[in-house]
Structure 1
Amino acid sequence: MRDQEQRRLTTKEAAELLGVKPETVYAYVSRGLLSSRRATGARGSTFDAKEVRALARRNRREGASGPSPGGEPAVRTRLTLIDSDRYFFRGVDAVELARLHTYEEVAEWLWTGRLHPGAAFTAPEAAVAVARRAVDALPGHAGPTDRLRVAAIAAATADPLRFDLAEDAVLGTARSLIPTLVEALPPVPPHRAERGSVAARLWARLTPRPADEASLRVLGTALALLADHDLAASTLAVRVAASARAHPYAAVSAGLGVIEGPLHGAASGLAHRMLRDVLERGGAAPVVAEELRAGRRIPGLGHRLYPGEDPRARALFALLEGVPSAAPALTAARDIAATAARHTPLHANVDLALAVLTTATGMPSSAGETVFAVARTAGWIAHALEEYAERPLRMRPSGLYVGPRPPMPLPEH
């Protein structure tokens, strides 16, 4: 047994023990997680068996056992599973949850694993007042995510207990932060500061039209459907912040800083503008042709995690069928998908469904980004809660240095 322990492992043996590819073993070496030694009289490296087994145990314990099958880092989570053309919140079909429950109830399910029928969120008056003043001070061209990010930072300053990362304290912050973000946005005239559900309060800040029941239901369902989606870029940023023990306001702010990108939360705005263009020009063919000619991908089509149709889009399109004002935008969206399919077979994604909603209800092109950001705050808090229960600073990868080898001479003036 002693001889077996002392025998050094080959790269292939180390990789099998760790459950990773041989390239990943060398990545562990470069990050200082393993030491290697050239094999005497042979090519390749050898590894200390005890060291490899210890790393394998640590990876299993931390739930981060190297790259996933797709090559991306893997992080243990109990929140969202994406499987084929469906996705699940804590094992329950997310589309069914959104169909039967409010956004607030879905958020509680993500946070606690328990349903809270009739769940309602209340914004503290002091936090709303501070957040509104900060948002009102922004220039007129500030985008929706700018406003939400500033509101989150301002609300944090009104909470002297924000550094309390106990679960109950974080849950209390979550239930007040989401409505604070919404109420920090100015209502669109003739609306006043609406009360009620998060969806009703958000509606008043996105469109001057009165909220009919069918349209409000679509908005509420969209919030619930978008509450989480595994480790999207913004969610990973939140987990990194939470790993460093940033408080929930700061973690949410980290997510808001990433979601603004055109490949993430702002994608629905691109789809909205394309949809308006199709409606004005009477058909999708010239619009799609111009996008392809310019070498751009068609907004609102395709999703790397769904080989078929995005289940969130499917659910929202079904509800939009019951909104009479949505008929022209729905027809335009189908025209876009059918026209683009002649070039590449891509299905509509949730960005196109959001674009139909925002176009049909008189919302600006930036409204989808606002809906996305408010909705995803629930998931960000859920991921922060998970990360607070993990080892601090575990989300700290090491750089794989590829620059010139030191020591280099000092640069000359």
Structure 2
Amino acid sequence: MTDNAENELLSASDVCTLLGISPATLYAYVSRGQLSSRPGADQRSRVYLRAEVERLAQRKRAGRGAARGAAQSLDRGLPVLETGISLIQPDSPYYRGRSAVAAAQDGATLEDTARLLWDCEELDPFTPQPPPHWPERIAPLALDGSLPPLERAMACLPLLALGQRQSLNAAAPVRREVAAALLRQNAALLVGVQPDARPVHRLLADSWCAGDEGFAEVVRTALVVCADHELNVSAFAARVVASTGAHLHATVCAGLAAMSGPRHGGATARAHALLLDAQASGAAAEFIAGRWRRGDDLPGFNHVLYPQGDPRGAEVLRVLRGLRGGTPAMQHIESVLAATEEHSGQHPNIDGLLAAICYAYGLPGAHALVMFATARLAGWLAHALEQQALGTLIRPRARYTGVVPGKPA
């Protein structure tokens, strides 16, 4: 990929040549959400981002032949591991065959979702109450509000493992109780408070907007629909660590570390910045149109796995409209949504709606990542438990492309 591929625009004929396809096939790719187009200089033609075109070309090459497909098996869209935890469908992610969107609508909490993801059956691992205070060695870090949330959690979790006597116990009930404690502890670490037995969505909501029942409801919805999303980057990282037999605290740290990258968890910060920048421009519709014409991306919109729209984002948006519809903040969000759909045809994804929650309630954008990390811990732990029950090590092979021994460089 060229250095300026992220913003370089190609004509329709250039795209057809690069991909070896007809114009009709190009239009089919756009309609299915595999490529996005923007208005050309004359407003009648369409142009395409080279970065998207080259990624599509790479996926096409990976699909030609079993051997080549196996060599490229870690690319997006090709299966890596079997799992019984979650399935991505156009209408919703499904957790062990149950719709995540429907569960959120039915009032499920993150704890309910964790029980399902962890295949607890009749066992309730949340019955033991967490200690009311952090251990002495952890408290200064755990309650330090000046530390970024993910870094605070990653600093404290390994220390918590030292005091967890059953951290390597292989018994399923014990492992699920450790997971339940971790879910509560991680949430408390991310918001910098003492752990307790409140539902996790209440702990977050009370920390940010105490007494606002509507806010607690939208947080609950967001946590449930974000709890797992198949083998995303952070879940895969956690699962690889779990395959070594490491304790669950280590798998959680791996997930948090992966989420700290700007290309994963950082998506919520970019989406929040888009809302702020559109507000600062004084003309949201013109601001969005200008970005799109320049070839800039629109953070918080579009999802490669949901070309017709992210159902998780749609559900959070439905709840948010019911709670904040008509407020100036929500009117601004609606103007950004409308302008984006008009000019790009893109729908908001879950990153954009987590950011929208923060914007609608006047909260820092960093809280969007906290909600994401709080929820996704349930999924990481489900993948860790499933992988450790298999008892196998995840060890992909590399396809060597360097200097061949014995041949001139």
TM-score, normalised by the number of residues in structure 2: 0.75
**How far 1:237 moved relative to its partner?**
0.6
Q: Distance in 1 between matches of 2:118 and 2:184?
A: 16
Return closer, same or farther for 1:304/1:115 CA change in 2, 3 Å cut-off. Answer: farther
- Among 140, 146, 154, which residue is 2:151 paired with? 146
User: CA shift at 1:236, angstroms?
Assistant: 0.6
Deviations 1:370-395 (A, max 9, x none): 110010000111111110122421x2
The corresponding residue for 2:402 is 403
**CA gap 1:113/1:237 in 2 versus in 1, 3 angstroms:** same
Q: Relative to 1, partners in 2 of residues 1:150 and 1:356: Cα closer, same or farther, differing over 3 Å?
A: same
* Alignment correspondent of 2:81: 75
Closer, same or farther: CA 94–121 of 1 in aligned 2, 3 Å: farther
| Superposition pairs of residues 211-360 of structure 1, within 5 angstroms | 211-289=211-289, 291-292=291-292, 295-324=295-324, 327-360=327-360
Question: 1:204 offset after TM fit, Å?
Answer: 3.6
Note closer, same or farther for the CA distance 1:271–1:246 as it changes in structure 2 (3 Å cut): same
The Cα shift of 1:247 comes to 1.0
Which whole-Å CA distance do the structure 2 matches of 1:361 and 1:121 have between them? 34
Counterpart position of 2:66:
24
| Partner Cα distance (2:195, 2:169) in 1 | 30
2:51 matched residue in structure 1? none
Residue aligning to 1:134 = 141
1: CA distance, partners of 2:386 / 2:183: 18
Question: Which of residues 116, 123, 131 in structure 2 aligns to 1:109?
Answer: 116
Q: CA deviation at 1:193?
A: 7.7
CA distance in 2, matches of 1:263, 1:289: 24
Corresponding residue number in structure 2 for 1:201: 203
Distance (Å, rounded) in 2 between the aligned partners of 1:315 and 1:225: 8
Shift of the 68–180 alpha-carbon distance from structure 1 to 2, 3 Å rule, reads closer
Q: Is the 8 A contact 2:272 2:355 kept in 1?
A: yes
Query: How far apart, CA to CA, are the structure 2 residues paired with 1:318 and 1:118?
Result: 32
**Cα 1:113–1:215 shift into 2, 3 Å:** same
Query: For residues 69 and 155 of structure 1, do their structure 2 counterparts lie closer, same or farther at Cα, with a shift above 3 Å needed?
Result: closer
Are 1:177 and 2:219 counterparts? no
- Aligned-pair CA distance for 1:290: 5.6
- The one-letter code sitting in structure 1 at the alignment partner of 2:253 is S
Q: Report the CA distance shift for 1:270/1:95 in structure 2 as closer, same or farther (over 3 A).
A: same
1:312 to partner: Cα distance = 0.9
Residue 184 of structure 2 aligns with an amino acid whose one-letter code is P
RMSD: 3.2
Report the AA paired with residue 170 of structure 1. Answer: R
Q: What's the CA shift string for 1:14-52, capped at 9, x where partnerless?
A: xxxxxx977433687x8xxxxxxxxxxxxxxxxxxxxxx
Q: Is the 8 A contact 1:228 1:379 kept in 2?
A: yes
Paired residues of 2:87 and 2:95 also in contact (CA < 8 A): yes
Bigger shift: 89-98 or 261-270?
261-270
Aligned AA (1:25): A
Aligned to 1:61: none
Distance 1:306 1:286 in 2: 26
| Structure-2 change in CA distance of 1:325 and 1:144 (3 Å) | farther
Using the TM superposition, give the Cα deviation of residue 184 of structure 1 relative to its aligned residue in structure 2, in angstroms. Answer: 2.8
Structure index of larger Rg: 1
Q: What SS class does the counterpart of residue 210 from structure 1 fall into?
A: coil
For the 8 Å contact 1:98–1:106, the answer to whether it is kept is no
Note closer, same or farther for the CA distance 1:336–1:27 as it changes in structure 2 (3 Å cut).
closer
1:112 maps to a residue whose letter is: D
Shift of 1:339: 1.9
Aligned-residue identity in percent: 31
Corresponding residue of 1:370 = 370
Q: Is the 8 A contact 2:303 2:349 kept in 1?
A: yes
1:221-258 CA distance string (max 9 Å, x none): 11111111111110011111111111110011111011
Checking the alignment, whether the CA contact within 8 Å between 2:125 and 2:176 is kept in structure 1 is: no
Paired position in structure 2 for 1:86: 92
Q: Distance in 2 between matches of 1:299 and 1:350?
A: 11
Give 1:166 deviation, angstroms: 2.7
Q: C-alpha displacement at 1:285, in angstroms?
A: 2.9
Give the AA of the match of 2:119. T
Structure 2: gaps spanning 5 or more residues: 1-61
1:277, distance to aligned residue in structure 2 (A): 2.7
| Distance in structure 1 (CA, Å) of the matches to 2:148 and 2:294 | 26
